[in-house]
Structure 1
Amino acid sequence: MNGLKVLVVDDDPNVREIIRLYFEKQQIQLAEAEDGLQALDMVEKVSPDIIILDVMMPGMDGYDTCRELMKHYDIPVIMLTAKGDEFDRVLGLELGADDYVTKPFSPRELMARIKAIFRRMQARRPAVPDDQSQAIEFDGLTIRPERREVLVHNEKIGLRPKEFELLVHLAKSPGVVYTREQLLEQVWGYDFLGDIRTVDVHVKRTRSKLSDFGCDCIHTVWGVGYKFEVVV
């Protein structure tokens, strides 16, 4: 974890101090922001690897900040929320957050979430093996794993890393139905600490982006899970 840069955004100085003290022991570089506007300014200055973003803040709250971050950056975001309602957790994921932690939390739990995301980031860096580099092509849809590109009728679609990995996994086995548990295991990995609703949120986001370009290829199999199928 040496060299990892984390930006913590929270208006509560006590929360920032708890995270700072624990992270210092882990030799993690930490930057702090008190609100969303300051966070957006600091992203350019510190180039963080991961952002820990509180939801309830004065002025620009965590949701609005997350929206702005997703427009301009591809940085993993962990939402901090004191709310336990499923709607609030799902909203953060739908906006593009990679994970969430509910307050009160332990610094150790937060570190586990960060390590899980960091391991996935590391796993994406090596070159794609030869057996995975060949383009996956269907009617109007082209997926290029080695370039991490998705094109629909030659128009490039902007997918976040986990959305791309989900699409590739499904597209490699067209017609195969995957349960949500299988997708959590095979796409997110055993170290993922989120809940099964995360799969639904990522499928919804990926499907929406593709459908904007007229591509309907991820289908719900009610009571079971999801499958990939291009209907011509």
Structure 2
Amino acid sequence: MTNILIVDDDINIVKLVDIHLSEHGYNVFQAKDGMEALEILEKAACDLAIVDVMMPFMDGYTLTKMIRKQYDIPVILLTAKSEIEDKELGFQAGTDDYLVKPFEPKELTFRMKALLRRFDHQPDEAILQIGNTTINKKSYEVQVGKRTLLLPLKEFELLSYLISNPKLVFSREHLIEQIWGLDYEGDARTVDVHIKRLRERFSNLTDDFQIKTVRGVGYLLEVHRK
């Protein structure tokens, strides 16, 4: 489970973020000031910190600097100020993102997910293998037996993502976020189109895998072991 540290002396903000993130499957640690936050970081392996700027004992800029020196995790600063000078201080302190109060919890979640992807230190295997199907992430080639295919980029990225996460169900919105990015303004049906093309390409080539529709949810890739 992903551990998130929220540091804010405003109990209402802490409760709001805690409830929202817990509903999305995150494990939340709470701290009311910088000193308490550092104590938590010494004991718990946190994956991301959400830090308020204006706090007693130690402000968010100072805490961010200390986190940056000791821990390799992303930081999102929360502030009631939107002036460019305040943002500059935040980024100079080492923050990775900046969110102005009041904010939508959903936007906080989007920003968190983007940062967690960037800070994901798990090794990214260049070669994916399922039966006689091989995906080469460096050359962007898919080989089925002796046949080599060069797919359009988004089809390749979508197939690679699904094969990297077999048996997991993903919503169209999640796949849009992962493959097309948060700034994509197109329709979620784009996923349906690309899934259809992948099925058409591989249905007669291999039975190593099958992309299945989970009604009302999204898609999953099922591996057929031989």
Q: TM-score, normalised by structure 2?
A: 0.55
CA displacement, residues 99-158 of structure 1 (integer Å, 9 cap, x when unaligned): 011000011110010011122233x5224759999xxxxxxxxxxxxxxxxxxxxxxxxx
For 1:24, the equivalent position in structure 2 comes to 22
CA 1:83–1:121: 2 relative to 1, 3 Å: same
For 1:126, the equivalent position in structure 2 comes to 123
- 2:60 maps to 1:62: yes
- 2:12 maps to 1:7: no
Larger radius of gyration: 2
Q: Which of 115, 118, 137 is matched with 1:117 structurally? A: 115
- Separation (CA, whole Å) in 2 of partners of 1:79 and 1:59: 17
CA 1:112–1:127: 2 relative to 1, 3 Å: closer
Aligned AA (1:191)? L
- Separation (CA, whole Å) in 2 of partners of 1:15 and 1:57: 13
- Separation (CA, whole Å) in 2 of partners of 1:19 and 1:113: 13
Q: Which of 39, 43, 46 is matched with 1:48 structurally? A: 46
- Separation (CA, whole Å) in 2 of partners of 1:87 and 1:10: 21
- Separation (CA, whole Å) in 2 of partners of 1:191 and 1:74: 24
- Separation (CA, whole Å) in 2 of partners of 1:44 and 1:128: 31
- Separation (CA, whole Å) in 1 of partners of 2:8 and 2:49: 11
For 1:38, the equivalent position in structure 2 comes to 36
- Separation (CA, whole Å) in 2 of partners of 1:73 and 1:19: 22
Query: Structure 1 segments of 4 or more deviating over 6 A?
Result: 130-133
- Separation (CA, whole Å) in 1 of partners of 2:57 and 2:5: 19
Q: Which of 83, 86, 90 is matched with 1:85 structurally? A: 83
- 2:93 maps to 1:95: yes
- Separation (CA, whole Å) in 1 of partners of 2:122 and 2:88: 28
Structure 1: state its 5+ residue gaps: 134-188, 193-232
Secondary structure of 2:94 counterpart? coil
CA 1:68–1:121: 2 relative to 1, 3 Å: closer
Per-residue deviation at 1:190?
A: 4.3
- Separation (CA, whole Å) in 2 of partners of 1:16 and 1:129: 40
For 2:182, the equivalent position in structure 1 comes to 191
- Separation (CA, whole Å) in 1 of partners of 2:98 and 2:85: 12
Secondary structure of 1:75 counterpart? coil
8 Å contact kept, 2:18–2:28: yes
Secondary structure of 1:52 counterpart? strand
Aligned AA (2:123)? P
- What is the aligned-residue RMSD (CA, Å)? 2.2
Q: TM-score, normalised by structure 1?
A: 0.53
Per-residue deviation at 1:95?
A: 1.4
- Separation (CA, whole Å) in 2 of partners of 1:55 and 1:68: 14
Aligned AA (2:16)? I
CA 1:91–1:190: 2 relative to 1, 3 Å: farther
CA displacement, residues 164-221 of structure 1 (integer Å, 9 cap, x when unaligned): xxxxxxxxxxxxxxxxxxxxxxxxx9437xxxxxxxxxxxxxxxxxxxxxxxxxxxxx
For 1:107, the equivalent position in structure 2 comes to 105
Q: How many residues align?
A: 134
